[in-house]
Structure 1
Amino acid sequence: MKIISLQLPVSLSRVDENLRRFKEGISQVVDNEDSIIILPEMWACGFDYGRLVEISERTLSVVEEIQGIINDNTLVISSLPERNQNKVFNAVYAVTKNGIAATYRKNFLFSPTREDEYIDRGRGVTVFDFKGSKIGLLLCYEVRFPEMFRMTAFAGADIIAVPAIWPQMKKEHWLTLMRARAIENQCYVAGANTSVMQGKKDMPCGFSAAFDPWGEPLFEPVAEEGIFCAYADKNIVEDVRTKIPSFYDAREFFG
């Protein structure tokens, strides 16, 4: 399974500009291989809290535009605002050519930037099948919560995809925690970050990352804009868990 992270700029509230940029990126990498393409968190609009409810009205049409440029071998992991009365969920849509394969709503919201005031909290984890691999979905800040990754792995995930908008100044936290989540759950963990969050004041981000079940990096994380590719093999997940049975020991103990 090929995993692709699109590390491109996100412009605050400029949905059409972001849509054009990311559609071009997706179009560049769609081919005949089974592929998962991960986009950054809230890639279509950023966190313009005052307009998220309004922007959420476009979410399904954005999903349809993505469907229009991919093929049957492609899954796009896309974080977008989902309308919930006067608030929204920060939702991940797992998009295939034929529809939405699964959704996930962010459980842990980042209160220092007031995300919890404008966005409703989801509940539970999501794991689904794509081309024989089990895919789990989590978001950004949740990399700080090992319990979420453990629950997702216990639910069967071979690959956990993590869209993010994570500031470059805390990149060592991001890279350390992503690697730790892969090692402790003995599965693939892959994330896509924006290269820069463009708004009233630009916030450098970057350092999208992917790690295998041994915790080995699958491409070099960098600050610059780019498209990064890795490969996942679910047989390696089983091999690692058999050689060092910490995951199975934990599952037996914690239930």
Structure 2
Amino acid sequence: MENELHTALIQTELVWEDPQSNRSMLEDKLKTLGSKVDLIILPEMFTTGFSMNPATCFETMDGESLKWLKQMASKLNAAICGSLIIKESGRFYNRFVFVDPDGSVTHYDKRHTFTLAGEDKAYSPGNQKVILSYMGWKICPLICYDLRFPVWSRNTEDYDLLIYVANWPDKRVLAWDTLLRARAIENLVYTIGVNRVGHDGEQIDYSGHSAVYDPLGNLLSFSEKDEILLTTLTKSAILKYRNQLRFLQDRDQFTVK
């Protein structure tokens, strides 16, 4: 079991509905990583921005972006993750993909599609919570609007790290800040939120606020600009807080259908 996990949060502008340009831009950014990184986290829909035009932007699980992610993971000897538009069995999904350095892929389909933007009409929702393992860490991957629904992230699996990738607009960024900290505190986990900056093809503005919170809700990293945030997480801190506080032992029991 590894004690430390070195993370890189890629907060960036995105080229609207242009996967090739976004892959090229992100690859240039990844070339600047100078220190040891174990896990690289990209924003939601990192190949297109938050597009409601899946028929013109989709890829498949053997498409160019998955090939690129595998190349980057192997080259950098780090896991890399983020969400993109995937078509599978005739349906479109906002899919979080997590690619290990050995090329293996784990995925999670966004459960809570954002009705305010019509995401529920363009994409099929996922129905399965995913807990993945990497370097001895148990990780729960979620996407943007999922942040508003604490039951879905409730830590009944004793996971260690909660990740949200997002295109969360500036006009509601207070909710983003508040809920990220709340998810960390209530679940006694490190919580990472990776948002984007700039504006998209729908002229929606994004102010970033990508952040890392520790299990007590203390802010470890934060940014409002186009940059890479490097943060080291320590597994022993989670165990220390859980042994001292034991709040998770008092949690309510329930089943999500």
Verify same fold: TM over 0.5. Answer: yes
Q: What pairs up with 1:1-255 in 2 under 5 angstroms?
A: 1-29=5-33, 31-33=35-37, 35-50=38-53, 52-57=54-59, 60-71=63-74, 73-150=77-154, 153-219=155-221, 221-250=222-251, 253-254=253-254
Q: Cα offset for 1:156?
A: 3.3
Q: In structure 2, what residue type is equivalent to 1:39?
A: L
Q: Cα offset for 1:198?
A: 2.6
Paired residues, number = 249
Distance of aligned partners of 1:209 and 1:120 in 2 relative to their CA distance in 1, 3 Å threshold: same
Structure having the higher helix fraction is 1
Q: In structure 2, what residue type is equivalent to 1:224?
A: K
Distance of aligned partners of 1:254 and 1:240 in 2 relative to their CA distance in 1, 3 Å threshold: farther
Q: Cα offset for 1:55?
A: 2.5
Q: Cα offset for 1:254?
A: 4.7
For the 8 Å contact 1:38–1:191, the answer to whether it is kept is no
Distance across 1 between alignment mates of 2:34 and 2:104: 18
For the 8 Å contact 1:78–1:95, the answer to whether it is kept is no
Distance across 2 between alignment mates of 1:249 and 1:88: 39
Q: Cα offset for 1:32?
A: 4.0
Q: Return 5+ residue gaps in structure 1 as ranges.
A: none
For the 8 Å contact 1:32–1:73, the answer to whether it is kept is no
Distance across 2 between alignment mates of 1:8 and 1:55: 19
What do the CA deviations read for 1:133-178 (whole angstroms, capped 9, x no partner)? 111100111111111110xx22232011110000112111101100
Q: Cα offset for 1:202?
A: 4.8
Distance across 2 between alignment mates of 1:245 and 1:155: 14
Q: In structure 2, what residue type is equivalent to 1:238?
A: L
Q: TM-score, normalised by structure 1?
A: 0.90
Q: Cα offset for 1:81?
A: 1.1
Distance of aligned partners of 1:44 and 1:111 in 2 relative to their CA distance in 1, 3 Å threshold: same
Q: Cα offset for 1:40?
A: 0.6
Q: In structure 2, what residue type is equivalent to 1:29?
A: L
**Partner-residue secondary structure (3-state), 1:29:** coil
Distance across 1 between alignment mates of 2:93 and 2:115: 15
Q: TM-score, normalised by structure 2?
A: 0.90
Distance across 1 between alignment mates of 2:195 and 2:246: 31
Distance across 2 between alignment mates of 1:245 and 1:129: 23
Q: In structure 1, what residue type is equivalent to 2:132?
A: F
Q: In percent, how many aligned pairs have the same letter?
A: 25
What do the CA deviations read for 1:30-78 (whole angstroms, capped 9, x no partner)? 7544x2111110010123323x134223663212112213347411112
Distance across 1 between alignment mates of 2:185 and 2:51: 35
Distance of aligned partners of 1:24 and 1:107 in 2 relative to their CA distance in 1, 3 Å threshold: same
Q: In structure 1, what residue type is equivalent to 2:18?
A: R
